[in-house]
Amino acid sequence: MTNSLGLAGKRVLVTGAASGIGLETARVLAEEQAVLILMDRDEAMLAGIARELGAVASAGGDVTREEDCDAMVAKAAVAAGGLDGLVHCAGISDRVAKAFDIDIDEWQHIVDVTLRGTFLACRAAARIMVPQQRGSIVAMSSIRGLIGSPRRHAYGPAKTAVAMMAKNLACEWSLSGVRINAVAPGFIRTPMTDRLIAEGKLDEGLLIDRTPMGRLGSPLEIARATAFLLSDWSSYITGVTLPVDGGWVAYGGAGPVEAH
């Protein structure tokens, strides 16, 4: 039995591929010999990554713009000769602030990137996948979308909506052979997390104490879970949101996790 996920030759578009989880996912898929098409708003950074990973195409764009998402998917389909998978990692963090202090335009921007962007990217990809009667989509939710969190009033609710979107779209597209699932990362060592820790908006020690596995996760661990959901190894899984969080959501204790 091979250890491969069977992604060799699969044509996969990865958004948010210039950094963090998107970049690590693209690397894992390259190792699995998938045919890669990469998208990120940072075109300069993306160009070098595309060369490094042997992507057949790369594109800049804003996922909140319908025309950008449609053009991105069209470019992917032409460059790769079709589209078998989408991993939608494009996203941004919000400002950690009390509800009374949030600027509503800033709130709307986070919601647009997270929710509108996910819907537009998934819909554009499905317009290719549904007629061909096959395809797999993985979107990024978050444990912030599975639990209540103070001072995260845009990011958390938008990620909750992404999880529900995966359910809704799975109910609509699965009979057409298109699966869609979501991954809910916990606290992962990414540039975004490091910035929040450096700014004093996250306490790394408290996060570690509260996580049953006693550490932050790595982008590689999210990428591997994503590759599994993208692959045929998960062929009877659709409409789920998989927490990859070291047990964070499972833990309901009143204090730090204790080893036994």
φ, ψ (nearest 5 deg) of residue 179: -95, 145
Q: Quote the tokens at residue 146.
A: 């599975």
Please name the amino acid found at residue 205: G
Q: Quote the tokens at residue 255.
A: 């204090």
Provide DSSP, 132-159.
Answer: HT-EEEEEE--GGGTS--TT-TTHHHHH
Q: Quote the tokens at residue 33.
A: 């010999």
Provide DSSP, 65-91.
Answer: -HHHHHHHHHHHHHHHTS--EEEE---
Q: Please give the positions annotated as active site.
A: 155
φ, ψ (nearest 5 deg) of residue 130: -60, -45
Chain centroid to CA 227: 11
